[in-house]
Structure 1
Amino acid sequence: MTVVNAAYLKSDHRSSSRLKQLGLFCAASLSSLCVAAGSAQAAAGPADVDGQRIINADKEPGNWMSTGRTYDEQRFSPLTQITSDNVGKLGLAWQYKLDFDRGVEATPIVVDGVMYTTGAFAVVYALDGATGKLLWKFDPKEDRAKSGQFCCDAVNRGVAVWKGRVYVGTNDGRLIAIDAKTGQSVWDVDTIADHDRSYAISGAPRIVHGKVIIGNGGAEYGVRGYVTAYDADSGKQAWRFYTVPGDPDKPQETPELQMAVKTWTGKAWFEQGGGGTAWDSMAYDPDLNLLYIGTGNASMWNYKLRSEAKGDNLFLSSIVAINPDTGKYVWHYQTTPGDAWDMTATQHMILADLNINGQPRKVIMQAPKNGFFYVLDRATGKFISAEKYAPVNWASKIDPKTGRPVFTGDASYWEKKGPVLVRPGFWGGHDWQPMSYNPATGLVYIPKHVFAVEYEDTPDYKYIQHKRNFYQLGVGAAAMKDDPADMEKWAKSWTGALLAWDPVHQKKVWEVPYTTIFNGGTLSTAGNLVFEGTADGRVVAYNAKDGSKLWQSPAQSGVIAAPVTYEANGAQYVTFMVGWGGAFPTFAGGASLRAGVKPWAQVLTYKLGGTAELAKAEYKVLQTPEPPARAGTPEDIAMGKDAFNGHCSQCHGINAVSGGVVPDLRRLSAAQHQMFPMIVQGAYQSLGMPSYKGVLTETQIGQIHDYLIKRAYDLQDELKNGHSIAD
């Protein structure tokens, strides 16, 4: 479905800077040439972006034409109208309310005065960059009944634009091309290789040489990872690169997979899917013609149950360089060999030219989940350096000769009985929230996590051939008790920071602490500024050199996306995508409540002297209905808790404590309690609650219900005694 502002169809919305360039050209040219040039520009229409424009992005700094602004993904803007001297004069220019109050993770694209961005369920918005006026809206109509088949809320990290089209991936696994002028679908392709597995897309596409490149998620649910390129004009598949091997009893698709399969043991991993999904970050070097992709965790985290605790398990948790024209492998570097903790290398990658030991080096930089900041040679993948940027106990260091971690054994839960504390845990020292690099300061600005959880071996585990469950991890992770004091203990230990990191000398320069993890991505500018939104509901500007806070404004909700800056009608703007959600509030609901925010999704845009008034947020009021009579034996309730955390916690929170993004199941109404089995079996599919018919037995559904009734009484007691962190 598309909603279009008719006035937009009459305008190409070229930026003032490009019009000025055109005017200068015309003043120095024959009038006939001027008419021809002007006609060509007008005919091009909106989103007229190609590879050369992205490569030459610094010549038009008022635009933000790719998700990292440039192919090198530095997320640095040369604009200088807003500086550390005048940023205190920033005011709201405009705001736009998004349709769904769920997690907002998109990086907007801004081309010639028009912003293209997404909200939850991959709804695409085209907005006037100067006023926030809606030009058109495209709803891909995701199959929300599949929402239980993928991780981490109904989020989308944004679009790509190319030659008059806007491209978006959807959580139900489609890639869609949209006409940038009309907002109408041009083509819509299914990217899923195996519909018996739980594939999804949340990442933003990249476009290189006319090919739209997209990965997928789903490793927690048992899939085989891959990256695919599609022709931007037709949607026809150009190539597919698998990130882990296929059936070990059959020939592999490529020579590199034939090499990789030797690093896996047994066949259990193949039944489990393998994993290694490339669900987020990519970068591109046009001089080397190399596309860099980051890969993720295995479908089963437990190294022993997956691969008999043997081998590196390539290409899990790796940076892989491939040829974007052919999809052919060039080199790889594995950050966490044999990854057993979900320490993905899907995190943001940045390309830069650094002077290291007196020598210029073309590098790729990454702060993956595992807690080490890596600097590699981007032509060869050769290791240069790595140091801890966050608390780490699984490895003591990265060996400078081999580039491999020196394992401590402290985190090898599959070799031990009982829970094992691992630092960092599965959300890492840094997750998907983008970092940025400022060439003027030489610093990388990282949304850092201080995060640890307990893992526990499950030796009797058997793989379950079903979608929609977390049992496929093969471990007991973050095993919180129902006791709110225990949840609060964990929550207080999970803190965050904005970290300014020197990648040459591999050391911290400054740091700003935050109450909790999952603060927003960063933007750095030539105005000596770093912008970041926070989990506790603020948008902030810091001095890029020393970290001093120079400006902040309320955002009314948690901010997890990365901001952008651009120019329209001669003014510089800074935009934040606002909306609490994603993995932290949905899965670790109790811990996320420390941020003190509620879902309220909107676009907030600021400029110097902005005078718009922030509209009041209209939050949902929580009710606490009287639960039905207690039911279920202690054994049934214990089984219900286990089934709930295995099947339901990814949306409704560990131990049924919601972070407020989706309903808190301790607060079911009398009618919902009465029809609970029907809800679980599909009665609410149109509302986004998937059906578990054929996945959960009637006995399991009853046990889950028994557990939720018990938790409803727990909540009443907590509220009565003032011990709840729920409100």
Structure 2
Amino acid sequence: MSTGWTRRHVPLLLSVGAFAGFGSVAWAQMQAPEALLPQLQQGAKAYADNCASCHGQDLTGGQFAGSLADTAFRNKWAGKSGQDMFEYVRDNMPPGNGRSLTDEVYAALTSVILARNNILPADQLAPGSDLMRQTAFPIDPAGQPDTGGVGGLSDRFPTPEAPARPDRFANYTPVTEAMLQDPAAENWLSWRRSHQGSGFSPLAQIDRNNVDRLTIAWSQALPAGANMNEPLVRDGVLYVFGFGDEVFAFDAEDGHLIWRHTRDLPDDFPPTSKKTMGLYADKLIVATSDLHVIALDARTGELAWDTEITDDPAFRNPGGPLVADGVVMQGLTTQKAGGSLIVGMDAETGEKLWSFNTVAQPGTPGGDTWNGLPADKRHGGSSWTSGTYDAETGLALWGVAQTYDTAPLRDRKPGMNNDGLFTNSTLAFEPRSGKLVWYYQHMKNDQYDLDWTFERVIGTLDVDGAPTRVVMTAGKEGLFDVLELRTGKYIKTVDMGLQDFIASIDPVTGDKAVKPEKVPGKDKGAVFVCPHAGGGRNWTPTSFVQETGLIYVNARDICMDMVPADPGFLTTGVNTEYLAPPGSDGKYGLLQAIDMQTGEVKWEARQRAPFDMGILTTASGLLFTGDMARKFKAYDQASGDVLWQTGVTGVPNGSPISYAVDGKQYIAIVTGAGNPLSFGVPIITPELQLPPVNSSSVVVYSLPE
């Protein structure tokens, strides 16, 4: 019950003027503190507008929803607080449109429900207040009046029990390092499935012969808004991030909601999508839009710990965590001066362990490569893709982006170095200490916004006759660099054939020499460069099949004019304008299979619609990806032929995943126009428009029974 009554009470009369539509005699005879009346009046109106059509005019149930004022309802809520009720109503009501009202209105609705059950606090309820938390349903509701009404359950005949649901956590065991390195075939435990970042599933039930029979197994709406999440699956539970920093755990077999966690974001932090989350031990690790990392109990969704990464609102964290060696690592993005960050936290407690500035500081390794620019004037080094991890070497591998502040670096000053470390680099860390073991800069002094901050794929290739652990990654230019994993030594570069501005690549160091006439600036006319800064290979991750040595990548084959502007997108005083490649047939969506051993492009498929979704490959020789035409497709890995396709209501984002439950294979995707590629290239493909409503959902496919 409430913590106290005021001495003065007034009748809570449901007159036409105050509570039109509520007519229960029991309700009308209740006594309410005068201070509570304004909130109850507000709540009654909100109830009539939003709830009565389902729950009945006087909360006693209707055709579409049960009573909010009978014994069964009070038994369900026994011992729970007004805050619990507020959070439930806010997150779930009206059905399918939770959080569509203000917190003030949800608090007023909570007051109405409590009052309807004879629970009357002494004053108005404010979300999160002591009074809200202390006002509770009785633990033993015996003796409480049962108001009855429409929608109750008759006991005339026995009601069959609901079918028993499987307990997905009955035999739960902690997620271990070994599992993350080599997951069981049925699981998808981390970004790109395993710590290697390959995006490959060993499942093969869905194959070339039956993929055309795929049908929707289940789907669930997620909060409407931007979403580019790649779900995780562990032992029959699918975890997915939703817009507004909501996290869901679904039964991966049929989509039944197991739990839901909602983060209350401060007003000055707009919600942003996240590429991934992390599983470790008994926790689900989530980066939040207000620059925190939180750990949720993977079985219940309860908060285990909450750590602020930084209090500087100039940062964002759209990537997602890498959890390895007991450490949560999270990269940030920013355009502020001073550089960006990668941070490490203890996975068990959330304690901050280290922080690494991705812009090298003067006097440190790589720090004197900024053309004499002081540390507080250096920009760039963002990281918006989760890292990968190699247990054999104990190295966590992260990618770092370029600088938009290109002017101070463009022309080398006498006696200085203008490479701009650690932009466009791979960084190899010891997770526990944060020690930088090695780094490799893929593209020095980037004047084009052609970042190298994408996935680092770990695999084995033959190098000089010996199998060698390597890391493979590509920048927007469509160049794949292959490095020796243990040391970062350059091995080779594989070219997709998209770029036209690199004059030569040093076979020993991998240094890329730019054609002088292709360097842009406000002191020049328009400079034609391929690919476009928003084109080439971009946010959509690749997939690598170790058995064949093939890496699969999609890209946008679009070029740019870099035209003088004041001030300009890049500080050299240039803007970028889309331009079709010379002789283009208008097919800008490109999908390639590249032999990383030989460097040969085995096949490529072209289409009008640009791709905006990562790639999944499976052991049965299938490849899945999606595009701006809102088509989700299955290809033959060997030939590039389309074997199956289906339309989806929202723009497919993130990357497809595959998992199995009780021996049955599933393919899952998330829609939601979340990454920049999902907005397409409307100037080049005006017929491909975003849907007028940006919905979001998780859609799961399987073979029919």
Calculate the TM-score normalised by the size of structure 2: 0.72
CA contact (8 A) 1:205 1:214 kept: yes
Q: Secondary structure at the match of 1:213?
A: strand
| Cα distance change of structure 1 residues 410 and 609 upon mapping to structure 2, 3 Å threshold | farther
Q: Which of 608, 616, 626 is the equivalent residue of 1:515? A: 608
Structure 2 equivalent of residue 601 of structure 1: 696
Q: Which of 490, 494, 500 is the equivalent residue of 1:393? A: 500
C-alpha displacement of 1:522: 0.4
CA contact (8 A) 1:109 1:159 kept: yes
C-alpha displacement of 1:555: 1.1
Over residues 155-188 of structure 1, what are the superposed CA-to-partner deviations in whole Å (9 max), with x where a residue is unaligned? 2112111122111112332111112222222222
CA contact (8 A) 1:348 1:432 kept: no
C-alpha displacement of 1:410: 3.2
Matched, 1:445 2:552: yes
Q: Secondary structure at the match of 2:328?
A: strand
CA contact (8 A) 2:454 2:475 kept: yes
C-alpha displacement of 1:239: 1.3
C-alpha displacement of 1:349: 1.5
CA contact (8 A) 1:119 1:155 kept: yes
C-alpha displacement of 1:261: 1.5
Structure 1 equivalent of residue 203 of structure 2: 79
Structure 1 equivalent of residue 235 of structure 2: 112
Matched, 1:185 2:316: no
Over residues 311-347 of structure 1, what are the superposed CA-to-partner deviations in whole Å (9 max), with x where a residue is unaligned? 2111100111111121111111111101122221111
CA contact (8 A) 1:453 1:477 kept: no
Matched, 1:90 2:214: yes
After TM superposition, list the pairs within 5 Å mapping 1:249-268 onto structure 2: 258-267=364-373
After TM superposition, list the pairs within 5 Å mapping 1:510-589 onto structure 2: 510-584=603-677
How far apart are the structure 2 equivalents of 1:300 and 1:235? 34
C-alpha displacement of 1:457: 5.1
Q: Secondary structure at the match of 1:260?
A: coil
Aligned residues: percent identity?
27
Structure 2 equivalent of residue 288 of structure 1: 393
Structure 1 equivalent of residue 158 of structure 2: none
How far apart are the structure 2 equivalents of 1:368 and 1:262? 24
How far apart are the structure 1 equivalents of 2:266 and 2:563? 35
After TM superposition, list the pairs within 5 Å mapping 1:79-478 onto structure 2: 79-102=203-226, 104-143=227-266, 145-147=268-270, 154-192=272-310, 195=312, 198-219=314-335, 221-222=336-337, 224-246=339-361, 248=362, 258-267=364-373, 270-304=375-409, 310-414=417-521, 416-456=523-563, 473-478=571-576
C-alpha displacement of 1:357: 4.9
C-alpha displacement of 1:90: 1.1
C-alpha displacement of 1:547: 1.1
| Cα distance change of structure 1 residues 139 and 310 upon mapping to structure 2, 3 Å threshold | same
Q: Which of 50, 56, 60 is the equivalent residue of 2:182? A: 56
How far apart are the structure 1 equivalents of 2:680 and 2:213? 38
C-alpha displacement of 1:142: 3.4
Counterpart residue identity of residue 217, structure 1: T
CA contact (8 A) 2:401 2:423 kept: yes
How far apart are the structure 2 equivalents of 1:208 and 1:157? 18
Which of structures 1 and 2 has the bigger CA Rg? 2
Structure 2 equivalent of residue 617 of structure 1: none
- For structure 1, the residue ranges without an aligned partner over 5 or more in a row are 15-40, 148-152, 253-257, 462-469, 481-485, 611-727
CA contact (8 A) 1:441 1:544 kept: no
Q: Secondary structure at the match of 1:344?
A: coil
| Cα distance change of structure 1 residues 307 and 222 upon mapping to structure 2, 3 Å threshold | farther
Q: Secondary structure at the match of 1:410?
A: helix
| Cα distance change of structure 1 residues 244 and 9 upon mapping to structure 2, 3 Å threshold | farther
CA contact (8 A) 1:536 1:557 kept: no
How far apart are the structure 1 equivalents of 2:512 and 2:176? 40
How far apart are the structure 1 equivalents of 2:679 and 2:206? 36
CA contact (8 A) 2:200 2:617 kept: yes
RMSD: 3.1
Over residues 121-176 of structure 1, what are the superposed CA-to-partner deviations in whole Å (9 max), with x where a residue is unaligned? 332111110001122222223346444xxxxx932112111122111112332111
Report the more deviating stretch, 117-126 or 525-534.
Answer: 117-126
Q: Secondary structure at the match of 1:338?
A: coil
Counterpart residue identity of residue 105, structure 1: M
CA contact (8 A) 2:456 2:473 kept: yes
Calculate the TM-score normalised by the size of structure 1: 0.70
| Cα distance change of structure 1 residues 300 and 547 upon mapping to structure 2, 3 Å threshold | same
Structure 2 equivalent of residue 503 of structure 1: 596
- For structure 2, the residue ranges without an aligned partner over 5 or more in a row are 1-86, 93-161
How far apart are the structure 1 equivalents of 2:386 and 2:583? 29
Counterpart residue identity of residue 112, structure 1: D
Over residues 533-564 of structure 1, what are the superposed CA-to-partner deviations in whole Å (9 max), with x where a residue is unaligned? 22211111111111111111111222131100
How far apart are the structure 2 equivalents of 1:561 and 1:594? 23
Q: Secondary structure at the match of 2:367?
A: helix
Over residues 565-598 of structure 1, what are the superposed CA-to-partner deviations in whole Å (9 max), with x where a residue is unaligned? 0011221000011122432455965557543441
Q: Secondary structure at the match of 2:617?
A: strand
Counterpart residue identity of residue 200, structure 1: R
| Cα distance change of structure 1 residues 235 and 573 upon mapping to structure 2, 3 Å threshold | same
CA contact (8 A) 1:523 1:532 kept: yes
CA contact (8 A) 2:569 2:576 kept: no
Over residues 74-122 of structure 1, what are the superposed CA-to-partner deviations in whole Å (9 max), with x where a residue is unaligned? 11111111111211121110111111232x2111110010011112333
Q: Secondary structure at the match of 1:351?
A: strand
How far apart are the structure 1 equivalents of 2:214 and 2:316? 38
Q: Secondary structure at the match of 1:379?
A: coil
Q: Secondary structure at the match of 1:478?
A: strand
C-alpha displacement of 1:11: 6.4
